[in-house]
A and B are shown apart, each in its own frame.
Chain A
Amino acid sequence: MGRYVARRLLQMIPVFIGTTLIIFLMVHILPGDPIRAMWGDKAADPAQVASLRHEFGLDQPLWKQYVDYMGNLFQGDFGKTFGGREVIDEMSESFPVTLRLTAVAMIIEIIVGIGLGAWAGLRAGKAADTGVLIFTLIVISIPVFVLGFLARFVLADQLGWVAPNVQDSTDYAQLFLPGFVLAMLSMAYVARLTRTTFAENLRADYMRTAMAKGLPRRRIVGVHLLRNSLIPVVTFLGTDIGGFIGGAVVTEGIFNVQGVGNLLFKALQQREGSTIVGVVTVFVLVILVINLLVDLLYAVLDPRIRYA
């Protein structure tokens, strides 16, 4: 187990360097100069542009910029934004916001998704099952921004039940609506996945054995069935956390949540290499670690899986 983890951690290094290099190159390969763009339609002063480019190291050859950037990164220095702020400050302001939103979305996704899936799976082929299938199909086919605008229009503008935007991102009650919208799509997938594995595992040998032993139904479903059915669901949830953290741009935009998605979006608009690479670096780390945790979780769920 220890050796397995160590090997996985070592494998992360080339993945990490590769992804950051690709992102770095992609940001710099785009046409146009972000410094020049600060002047907009107005004429830029070449001397000042040159001076600013020098300030941000953009006048160096690309390989040197990358080496410098990585060198600083290992000392915990993520560089500065064009506005002169530390990228690490910007990230430490926005990551907690996104993490809270992710947590809300995750909880909704797990409870509603697995609940619905289990409910439908146990009644496979019956009206309840069909109902859940149709419901999830509808949710999957609606784009998230439609869902977001619709939810806000109905719940905030028309009914006035909630504030239309998140005013204070530390208030979990306010994060409920964006969290719900963010969770909807994945929730539908989780429900479908759970339903299918439940329906399949119901016919498994060990289920028949458990029933033949005369175990109470609660134990059969709650322990034998649920635990065995969770493996694909956990895999999905694991990748989903990464998706939530990185892919909440649309939801964050609709509900005015100042999270990482927005940070990244604004940075992309301004071509702020330091912020983009910094945020993506953290994404890569998060996803690598979550993948490892998911793999380790398999062993907990299914004792037959052993890592050596």
Chain B
Amino acid sequence: MRGAKSAKWVAGAAIIALAATACGGNDKDSDSGMNSGKADPNGILTAQLSEPQNPLQPANAKESQGSRVLRTIFSGLVDYEPGTGKLVYVNAESVTPNADSSVWTVKLKPGWKFHDGTTVTSKSFVDSWNWSANVKNNQTNSSWFQDIKGYEDVHPAKGAPKADKMSGLKIVDDNTFTISLTGSVSYFAYKLGYDVWAPLPESFFKDPAAAGQKPIGNGPYKFVSWDHKKLIKVRKFDGYQGPNKAKNGGIDFKNYTTAEAAYSDLRSNNLDWIEQIPTTSLTSYKQDLGDRAIDAEYSAVQSIVPAFYTKQFKDINPKVIQGLSMAIDRDTITKTVLHGTRTPADSYVARGVIGYKPGALGDVTKFDPAQAKKLIKDGGGVPGNKISIQFNADQSHKPWVDAVCNSIRKATGVECVGDSKPDFQADLNARDNKQVKSMYRGGWVLDYPVNSNFMRDLYGTTAAGNTSGYSNKEFDELAAKADKAKTLDETVKMYQEAEQLLKNDMPAIPLWFYKNNSGQSEKVFGKIVYGQDGDPIFTDVQVKAKK
């Protein structure tokens, strides 16, 4: 009886699903006009943005919102090619290392202008970096300059800075300067693609606070206005000389209180791009939007990390962690609980990053309950036969934590529970103070697209991003050697070796890579292309001409 009933219910569900797809089919027909018509080079794009947390100063955007605006206003020395992560020169003509990659020479393309008409020179960069690195100026990204010689003078661990200039930065002439590093970093040029390395005009230093409200940059767009919590306007900068000239007339960044509100505005064409489809619409957005739905992967990874300072994991046999990893059914969880918003991870390094190797972790990320059980048994079992995964309850982590736990429990019989912290602050607090009881949720979005960023900066013994207490001498040595390699290729290769080392030692269990589930309005011409940091390449977005 029961069986018959559920069969009927399934049939009913199938009919609804069919109806929905039929509906989607119709929508698609009406949507296929995405590439028809003409682009208007002066059309204004409306994009979603939450209020930036900090003033719009290049080194003061730790969160994505401020960074989204800054990237339109400022251009750095280099940028990355989407998809391959290859280096592209923007304001720099060349960035070249010396023999051991410890001194870098930067040549600028001459004649670049700031939006206020002043010229971009070596001084604009050097002054900017010196100011941003200074601990007194309270820039959240100040530690990005720590590779440069003399960083400790402007940014001491304690007390007031001894100098206001880093000794490692030397101006040669108006368009040339050198950067001396404290050690060898073969991929230093890649780091230069981040927002913090932007130049600043003379006027900035007279009143940095005011400049943070009304930034003047050298980028493809010039800043127009910031109506707090409502709207930030940027417009195309006609004097821009970089390779990434704006293909639209400007962007209105509109503030939304919730993803739901933004989504309904997108559907009524009041908004041209949204950041993320609200969770409530994830199952239906592809039908709602047809080919205007965006489903793009970006370079970020989510993992669960054992706290190696706990009794449980202090002297653990890595086989046990490998076993736990193999007990997680990533395919099913990403498809069902996460509604396809993630793809299963098969490596410590996210896809799209230089040095990512498909299947680098081999069987360790494959779901195999029998093998999982065996590995855990061989490794001496999980102490206490119970693990917990700490997460913050103010974001939607609970569903997948429960699913992962369920998967582990079913496959191996190891008891697994979620350890919920009320909010992100409390979660971080427990992590920083080494109070995590068993395992915790970890996430990492790329800083620069080289595989070292996903390993050295997370699992190096002294890495600031290493909060689990993990330490592996062999890995540290290999990483140090890799950083000193002559060419980037060698570095990347050595880090790939290091990844195999980590595979046998399991500092974390990678779960999945992130995807952007988003959408665009009917006013956008062609499909929006994304960069690897998970944000659109706004300069390439075209707006349809009004008929």
B319, chain A: closest CB distance, angstroms? 28
Contacts of A271 in B (CB 8 A): 425
A285 within 8 A of B: no
Contacts of B427 in A (CB 8 A): 32
Contacts of A42 in B (CB 8 A): 62, 465
Contacts of A149 in B (CB 8 A): 260
Q: Are the C-beta atoms of B55 and A84 separated by less than 8 Å? A: yes
Chain B: how many interface residues by the 8 Å CB criterion?
Answer: 55
Q: Are the C-beta atoms of B464 and A43 separated by less than 8 Å? A: yes
A213 within 8 A of B: no
Contacts of B157 in A (CB 8 A): 46-47
Within 8 A of B (CB), among A82-102: 82-85, 89-90, 93-94
Contact A165:B264 (CB < 8 A) given known A40-B62, A43-B465, A256-B256:
yes
Q: How far is the CA of A149 from the CA of B430 in the complex (A)?
A: 37
Q: Are the C-beta atoms of A83 and B53 separated by less than 8 Å? A: yes
Nearest residue in B to A169 (C-beta to C-beta)?
B230
B258 within 8 A of A: yes
Q: Which residue of the partner chain, among A93, A253, A263, A269, contacts B394 with CB atoms under 8 Å?
A: A269
Nearest residue in B to A148 (C-beta to C-beta)?
B260
B72, chain A: closest CB distance, angstroms? 19
Q: Are the C-beta atoms of B261 and A256 separated by less than 8 Å? A: yes
Residue interface bits B10-51, CB-to-A below 8 A is 1, else 0: 000000000000000000000000000000000000000001
Of listed A34, A40, A42, A44, residue having the most chain B CB within 10 A: A42
Contacts of B212 in A (CB 8 A): 84
Q: Are the C-beta atoms of A257 and B425 separated by less than 8 Å? A: no
Q: Which residue of the partner chain, among A32, A38, A47, A255, contacts B156 with CB atoms under 8 Å?
A: A47
Contacts of A152 in B (CB 8 A): 264
Query: How many residue pairs at the A-B interface have CB separations less than 8 Å?
Result: 138
Contact A30:B209 (CB < 8 A) given known A48-B139, A48-B142, A252-B257:
no
B135 within 8 A of A: yes
Q: Are the C-beta atoms of B394 and A31 separated by less than 8 Å? A: no
Q: Are the C-beta atoms of B267 and A157 separated by less than 8 Å? A: yes
A266 within 8 A of B: yes
Chain A: how many interface residues by the 8 Å CB criterion?
Answer: 52
Contacts of A256 in B (CB 8 A): 256-258, 261-262, 265
Contact A83:B54 (CB < 8 A) given known A32-B428, A51-B138, A258-B230:
yes
Contacts of A83 in B (CB 8 A): 51-55
B2, chain A: closest CB distance, angstroms? 32
Q: Are the C-beta atoms of A36 and B51 separated by less than 8 Å? A: no
Contacts of A252 in B (CB 8 A): 257
Q: Are the C-beta atoms of A82 and B53 separated by less than 8 Å? A: yes
A296 within 8 A of B: no
Contact A37:B424 (CB < 8 A) given known A48-B140, A48-B143, A156-B268:
yes
Q: Which residue of the partner chain, among A32, A85, A164, A258, contacts B423 with CB atoms under 8 Å?
A: A32
A33 within 8 A of B: yes
- B: residues with CB less than 8 A from A are 51-55, 62-63, 135-136, 138-140, 142-143, 155-158, 209, 212, 228-230, 255-258, 260-262, 264-265, 267-268, 270, 394, 423-430, 432, 442-445, 457, 463-467
A-B complex: 3 closest residue pairs judged by Cβ atoms:
A32-B425, A43-B464, A164-B264
A-B residue pairs in contact (CB < 8 Å), sample of 9: A32-B427, A34-B425, A36-B428, A39-B62, A41-B444, A51-B135, A52-B140, A254-B261, A262-B229
Besides A47-B135, A156-B264, A164-B265, 15 other A-B contacts (C-beta < 8 A): A32-B423, A33-B428, A33-B429, A39-B62, A39-B140, A41-B442, A43-B457, A43-B466, A46-B157, A48-B139, A83-B51, A84-B212, A253-B258, A256-B265, A262-B257
